[in-house]
Structure 1
């Protein structure tokens, strides 16, 4: 679980650095009895989440199955 969480955050961070043109990036982790949640925010240009299946890169495609796991 720890490795998956690390890889998800690592992939998200790489995507922000490479694509978002952000000047600020914040990660919030919260652990409760129900599980762990991660909120990753930046002030970058954003993307259309409804078109994430059409992405040609591997960043989001690697993150999605890790989250599902």
Structure 2
């Protein structure tokens, strides 16, 4: 199973690795600092439509209706990097239910 994950990540062009790393770094930082998460899960997948990174935590979460108010510089950097990957970003969260982020690229 680890071998499959390694091959999937190797299929991602090396120029994209730094963007993905920085996105995950920011998400992890937010989970720990703001969400007080104790568990974080990151899964990479690939299919005929492209690559996907699914990120989730068990932190405090937030009301996604307030995402524009909550979006600080970190979230803007994530959105900018996803745009550089020519990808899509989806954020799902509820108060006390953690966060789930899907990045398609």
Structure 1 unaligned segments of length 5 or more: list them: none
Q: For the residues of structure 2 that align with 1:53 and 1:38, how far apart are their CA atoms?
A: 22
TM normalised by structure 2 equals 0.58
Is 2:55 aligned against 1:47?
no
Give the one of 6, 19, 28 matched to 1:4.
19
Query: Who wins on radius of gyration, i.e. which is larger?
Result: 2
Is 2:34 aligned against 1:19?
yes
Q: For the residues of structure 2 that align with 1:33 and 1:16, how far apart are their CA atoms?
A: 30
In structure 2, the CA distance between the partners of 1:56 and 1:29, relative to structure 1 (3 Å rule), is closer
Structure with greater contact order relative to length (CA < 8 Å, sep ≥ 6): 1
Q: For the residues of structure 2 that align with 1:5 and 1:14, how far apart are their CA atoms?
A: 14
Equivalent residues, number: 69
Query: Superposition RMSD on alpha carbons, in Å?
Result: 1.6
Residue aligning to 2:98: none
Structure 2 unaligned segments of length 5 or more: list them: 1-15, 85-105
TM normalised by structure 1 equals 0.83
